[in-house]
Chain A
Amino acid sequence: MRYTFIFLGLLASVIALALSILPFGLIALIPAILGLILGYLASKASKKQGKSKLPANLIFLLSIIALIITSYRTVFTENTVETDTEFIEKEKESKEEALEELEELETMDEDSLQ
């Protein structure tokens, strides 16, 4: 049972760490909390069997790092959109093309005519 807790705990904490670095927001909290629970169970099982607590401590460490990174990024990282010159140019071109096409249209309602 100890090995199962260690394996699952390590898996959860590594996933949590990976998700905390990637821009997935709070989703990393799920494996991080799961990692802490499994780390606790692994620690308890290790104590009962008189074996090393090192793997359980590693699970705790990775999960806590994931929790810190996720919390920091949630609180301090602002949602920003880059100034996309390519997109701005596309918007301009699209408008220019549209105006050319609208000039050719002869089906306007009378109340939009100047």
Chain B
Amino acid sequence: MKYRLLLIALVMAFTIQSQNAFKAGENLTFTASYNMSGLLTDIAQVTMQTEEVKTSKSTLLHLKCTAKTFTKWDNFFRVRDLYESYVNPNSLNPYLYKRDINEGSYYKFMKYTFNHKTNTVNSLQKKRRKNGTFWEENKNHNIKGNTKDLVTTIYHLRNLEIHKASPGDSDSFPVIFDRKEQNVTVKYLSKETIKTAIGEKECYKLAINISDSDVLKGSNNNLLWLTADDNKIPVFAKFKIPVGNGELRIKSATGLKN
């Protein structure tokens, strides 16, 4: 019994220590740029927000990411994307994930309901047909115990103890995206000091790769700079996707934990 209590205390201590990079009420705003013939063009505003939500039984963390095209683009190609995840505030285990994509005439809705007791995910996909009607598809998937959704994984990266890693070290995480469980590999490349809209920041430069997926192209083409402080704010990202490449630059950061 004594050992059991000690073990619980140790697990609790690790859990609390590991969830230290952000808190509810954080608001990060980014500018997304797309490479057009070698020239970067600002196309959208991306936000990442955290909020505490309560149900009758529990307190959860609501992680929300949005992407909205700038007004000047709205008449040509309007994007209104909403990514949400409701997670355990300590372990970041996701319970519910929603993805609502509205890009030009393309619409897609995806919902994952996680069951961590049975290690399964129930997915609901909704798409719009050309005639404007919708079709839905329900599926069940078996997942690994620590599989997360995309949004939660981004926040999970901020909780990694990168200060203990050496350049070249890498780690993998299972992620469910587009109803497939995939492995995201994060490799710590180096420390770099970069100029950002929130000041000059010393950052951890990470390379992100998704195995067996077309979402991100190349092995070292998708880079993420997290501030090398307790907040580990994602301040800059370079990405290469099937339809081109671009950048994500931080514009503002409020409600930081540290």
Contacts and interface: CB of A to CB of B under 8 A. Distances in A.
B73 A23 contact: yes
B72 interface: yes
A82 B44 CA distance: 11
Q: On chain B, which size bracket covers the interface?
A: 35 or more
Given A81-B68, A98-B86, A112 B59 contact: yes
A24 B42 CA distance: 9
A113 interface: yes
Given A95-B84, A101-B113, A109-B93, 5 more contacts: A25-B41, A27-B37, A94-B98, A107-B118, A111-B90
5 tightest A-B contacts by CB?
A25-B41, A23-B72, A112-B88, A112-B58, A26-B39
B57 A114 contact: yes
A84 to B, nearest CB: 7
Contacts of A103: 55-57
B96 A79 contact: no
B74 interface: yes
A30 B57 contact: no
Interface of B: 15, 31, 36-37, 39-42, 45, 53-60, 62, 64, 66, 68-74, 76, 80, 82, 84, 86, 88-91, 93, 95-96, 98, 100, 113-118
A1 interface: no
A82 B74 CA distance: 9
A99 B82 contact: no
A105 B59 contact: no
A22 B42 contact: no
Interface string A23-43: 111110110000000000000
Contacts of A94: 82, 84, 98, 100
A108 interface: yes
A24 B90 contact: no
B4 to A, nearest CB: 15
A102 B60 contact: yes
A77 interface: yes
Contact of A108 (B57, B64, B69, B73): B57
Q: On chain A, which size bracket covers the interface?
A: 20 to 34
A79 B118 CA distance: 46
Given A24-B41, A90-B100, A114-B59, A99 B70 contact: no
Given A23-B76, A25-B36, A30-B37, A109 B68 contact: no
B114 A107 contact: yes
B90 A102 contact: no
Contacts of B45: 79, 81
A77 B72 contact: yes
Contacts of A27: 36-37, 39, 41
A90 B82 contact: yes
19 contacts: A25-B41, A27-B36, A30-B37, A79-B42, A79-B45, A79-B70, A84-B80, A91-B82, A102-B58, A103-B55, A103-B57, A105-B113, A107-B117, A109-B116, A112-B59, A112-B88, A112-B91, A113-B58, A114-B54
